[in-house]
Amino acid sequence: MNLIALLLVLAVAATEATVGNVTIGGELKQWHKITLTLDGPFARERDNDPNPFTDYRFTVTFTHESGAPRYVVPGYFAADGNAANTSADAGNKWRAHLSPDKPGRWNYTGSFVKGKHVAVNDGTGEPLKPLDGLSGGFNVAPTDKTGRDFRATGRLQYVGKHYLRFAGTGEYFLKAGADAPETLLAYTDFDGTEARKKNVPLKTWASHIRDWRSSDPSWKDGKGKGLIGALNYLAGKGCNAFSFLTYNAGGDGDNVWPFVSRDDKLHYDCSKLDQWGIVFDHATALGLYLHFKLQETENDDRQGPGAAQSLDGGDLGPERRLYCREVIARFAHNLALNWNLGEENSQSSAQQQAMAQFIRKTDPYHHHIVIHTFPNQQDKVYPPLLGDRSHLSGASLQNGWSQAHQRVLKWVTESARAGKPWVVAHDEQNPAELGVPPDPGYEGFDGKAVGKDGKTYTLHDIRKLCLWGTLMAGGAGVEYYFGYKLPQNDLLCEDWRSRDKSWDYCRIALEFFAANKVPFWEMSNADALVGNAENKNTRFCFAKPGEIYLVYLPNGGSADLDLSVANGTFSVKWFNPRVGGALQDGSVKSVTAGTTASLGQPPSDSTEDWLVLVRK
């Protein structure tokens, strides 16, 4: 026997000797990522017989000692278990992640079966002993995190209201952050990532390397600092959300896919996905909500220019099932996220319903599921999905920036009427070529966005009618889209400082609700109380009638508030949405209910936007 043959025999023997070994890794604490790693069958990413992604089904059931909760967690092939750093494409490590709700003893039981496409169908498969049925347990301590870290607040859940709620603290969530760039994951430091279009190069995120800290994660001897730094910057500005496409082959960017190669939809790139996971885990620690956009309009069905890259032509076939399963298995342990069926989604209602149902069935944590579509398609796409007609729990809206209030209010209202209130966010601002403009002075930009119709707007208009227009309609928040013509646009952006001032306005809004303990989850739009029954962009009201009223004045001035059905005395305070800070007194300090009351004049700058807080 020659040396090479001997080494192969020894390697196989070593692998067989460790089959069935289970290790529990991570911080064994409530809400933290806990990883079960199993030594299972040796495989390579590109194997076909068996294919490690389709022909093995590894699942772990985790149960708290009290009997609840119980999570059936899909597992996945993890190559050598350190692929983010080694770029390994082979190994015998299989993994499943848990983010436990409760301290105490958690028990697990594994299921490991083999069979042709058993991971993507409902077949029973052949149990692989001793892997199938392996069991054990571990102890989980209480969380030790505080502040923004989502491990301090727990999992964000849909609870049948217009806002998501943290399971740990019971607090409700408003979001504000970046929708752009959609090509965020087209990053030169990720394995297997390539630019296919000359005008859409890979990102370095070089502008944010300075924001990386020595205590932050990286991979492969220092890679990842630019993108990790970018997340640090966004969180440091007080924002709490960002979005990204996980599959855009055949689309505008054509540079993001989770596979070993662009057109191989049944074999996944373990090292690339582990590197994505490092970024997502860091985001969770920073308190940044993950908006997964699972596909885009060009490749979501057989109709678009990327039809050849669509998964099963839009149907729920083996490619789409595997894709959803892999993404859920690797990333669903993160605590605050949504699954978006697709950007500008054009699948049929039946296809959308089937995909949402599969995600709901596969995701052990039942994360928020949303859909995004074209502005002129919303009235066609959304109604068949409302209520109990789908597993969707919200909408990610794209509309003109000045239409945010009206369109958010429409779907908040329509979803409630259908019996299942949706969480509605304004995540893409038209006109498509402009979106949210950069700060004045950034790369010579004068601060004025000029549309095709010749109309001009600025970041102040975005603050007034998109940010506050959304919040006062009962929307769950905003993400900002950057268009395709202005500096640092939706495809090319790698410097979030281009919208530095807009992030400040987002932070100021979020801080207002938190600092003043405004119970927004118990409030609803009440524009009619300020004489705006047609919901125009003149003045907005958001209220829990009889207790608290917010009146937003985009153009300053004053307003009369109808308190005819309330009783008692209400204080009147003014908040400056341009600079934030403490509440201020205006010309009227209190009003008495039982009639329509004038709120008086603002403290200063009477032609600028102001928010009035009227509280019992």
**DSSP structure string for 281-301:** HHHHHHT-EEEEE--BGGGSS
Question: What is the rounded average pLDDT for all residues in the chain?
Answer: 96
Q: How confident is the model at residue 3 (pLDDT cuts 50, 70, 90)?
A: very low
| pLDDT tens, position by position, 577-616 | 999 999 999 999 999 999 999 999 999 999 999 999 999 9
Question: Does the domain spanning 526-615 belong to CATH 2.60.40?
Answer: yes
Class of domain 18-140: mainly beta
End-to-end CA gap in the chain: 88
3-state secondary structure string, 454-474?
Answer: CCEECHHHHHHHHHHHHHHCC
Residue 146 has pLDDT above 60, yes or no: yes
What is the average pLDDT across 203-232? 98
Which sign, positive or negative, has the C-alpha torsion 509, 515, 521, 523? Answer: negative
The tens digit of pLDDT for each residue in 268-301 reads: 999 999 999 999 999 999 999 999 999 999 999 9
Percent of the chain scoring above 90 in pLDDT: 96
Q: Is the pLDDT of residue 1 over 90?
A: no
CA distances 208 to 213, 220, 233, 508, Å, are 11, 19, 7, 23
**CATH number corresponding to 175-516:** 3.20.20.80
Location of structure tokens 């394995």:
191
Whether cis (ω within 30° of 0) applies to the bond prior to 103 is no
pLDDT digit string (tens) for 114-141?
A: 999 999 998 889 999 999 999 999 999 9
pLDDT of residue 147: 97
Q: What is the pLDDT of residues 317-372, one digit of tens each?
A: 999 999 999 999 999 999 999 999 999 999 999 999 999 999 999 999 999 999 99
Quick check: 11 pLDDT over 60? no
pTM of the predicted model as reported, rounded to 2 decimal places: 0.96
Task: Pull the structure tokens for residue 364.
Answer: 């052990």
Query: 19 pLDDT band (50/70/90 cuts)?
Result: low
**pLDDT reported for residue 590:** 98
What is the per-residue pLDDT across 414-461, written as a single tens digit (0 to 9) for each?
999 999 999 999 999 999 999 999 999 999 999 999 999 999 999 999
Give the CA dihedral 174, 177, 182, 186, nearest 10 degrees. -120
Separation CA 371–CA 383 (nearest Å): 12
pLDDT of amino acid 410: 98
Interatomic CA distance for residues 548 and 526, integer angstroms: 11
Task: Report the C-alpha gap between 259 and 86 in whole angstroms.
Answer: 17
In this predicted structure, the answer to whether residue 538 has a pLDDT above a threshold of 50 is: yes
The residues facing 111 across adjacent strands are 59
Average pLDDT over residues 171-183: 98
| Span 408-423, pLDDT tens digits | 999 999 999 999 999 9
Whether pLDDT at 175 is above 50: yes
Token representation of residue 128: 């692989």
Would you list the domain boundaries of the chain? 18-140, 175-516, 526-615
Q: 175-516 and 526-615: same fold? A: no
Above 50 in pLDDT, residue 36? yes
**Which amino acid is located at 418 in the chain?**
A
> Contact, 204 vs 226, CB < 8 A?
yes
Which residue, among 110, 100, 95, 96, has the nearest Cα to 140 in the 3D structure? 100
